[in-house]
Amino acid sequence: MLDAHRLAVLAEVAHAGSIAAAAQALSFTPSAVSQQVAKLERDVGARLLHRHARGVTLTPAGEALLVHAEAIVGELRLAERTVRALLDEELTVGTFASAGMTLVPAALAEFRRDHPGVALRLLDLEPPDGYGLVSSRDLDLLITHRYPGAPLPDPRGLERTLLRSERFRLILPQGHPKARARRLTLRELAAEDWISGSPGVPNRACLEELAGTAGVRLRVAYETRDYQVIVALVEAGLGIAFVPESVLDRVGPERVEVRDAADARPAREIFLVHHRRPGTLVTEMVARLSR
């Protein structure tokens, strides 16, 4: 029979991406973590990790075992939290940066007023990260997104519901000559400096897909995934960008020009992910976010 403690160590190593980081999170020595993984490999009769200079990655056998490890660790933590809830409740929410800035604060503040005794934790997680943490009960609720054209991760038996669809707006510096045009297209904006994430980041992949559909190449001159930084760079006159509409709620209309591209109207889907048997605190938080 596999040891639940060793499975928990494997899950932590997979989430941390290295033996050293997992050891720090578990308050173990790296040697102790390596020994636990080695014992688990002997138990299953297969190698579970590829070790390399930047850390570790899971072998196919490790990936297969991780799904079960997260589920088992999740059930153990659920049992622990069920008992703890009788004495001291807690709620841990994971969210991506822009939702943490626009969507989450009001819901958390309302929740805090109604439940002053609940210990609230908020973790910053960029999609697609976080699903495994919900499975292992490190997270009670995950707020995540999908950009156009991006695949949705396997929910691993979790409950995933669409919270909202959020459109993106095109922003240009104040006084930009193109801002006065009655109709804008990506082809007309192809010579501009664009601001987006680095290659592989969801907003960059979305921008590249939009450009491909329009048959143009866009030059990304400044790379950042932080939408507050993107707005600041546009405001400074350094380029143009697509940003989520919710981000613009915190930007004064005099700071940037807000338009739409006639041939590109991207939107991202925002999802809530939790266990299929959520506790009352998770159910209440989901209801607040849905409002």
- The pLDDT profile of the chain, 291 residues, written as one tens digit per residue, is 788 888 888 988 998 899 998 888 888 888 888 888 998 889 889 999 998 888 899 999 989 999 888 888 888 877 776 666 554 488 999 999 999 988 999 999 999 999 988 889 999 998 988 998 998 888 999 999 999 878 888 888 899 999 999 999 999 999 999 988 889 999 999 999 999 999 989 999 999 999 999 999 999 999 999 999 999 999 999 999 999 999 887 776 578 999 999 999 999 999 999 998 888 899 999 999 998
Specify whether 60 is located in the same domain as 94.
no
Whether residue 8 is found in the same domain as residue 63: yes
- Exposure string of 190-228, with b = 16+ CB inside 10 Å and e = fewer, is eebebbbbeeebbbbbbbbbbbeebebebebeeebbebe
Q: Which amino acid is at 55?
A: G
Residues 188 and 131 in one domain: no
Do residue 262 and residue 180 come from a single domain?
A: yes
92 and 66 fall within a common domain: no
Check: CB of residue 196 under 8 Å from CB of residue 210.
no
Domain shared by 175 and 261, yes or no: yes
Looking at the structure, tell me whether residues 182 and 243 fall in a common domain.
yes
The tokens for 223 are 């790379």
| Total number of domains in the chain | 3
- 97 with 145, same domain: the answer is yes
Tell me the pTM.
Answer: 0.70
Domain that holds residue 127: 88-164+269-290
Indicate which CATH number applies to the domain containing 226.
Answer: 3.40.190.10
Residues 175 and 226 in one domain: yes
Total residue length of the chain: 291
- Residues 153 and 221 occupy one common structural domain: no
Same domain, 121 and 261: no
The reply to whether 171 and 134 lie within a common domain is: no
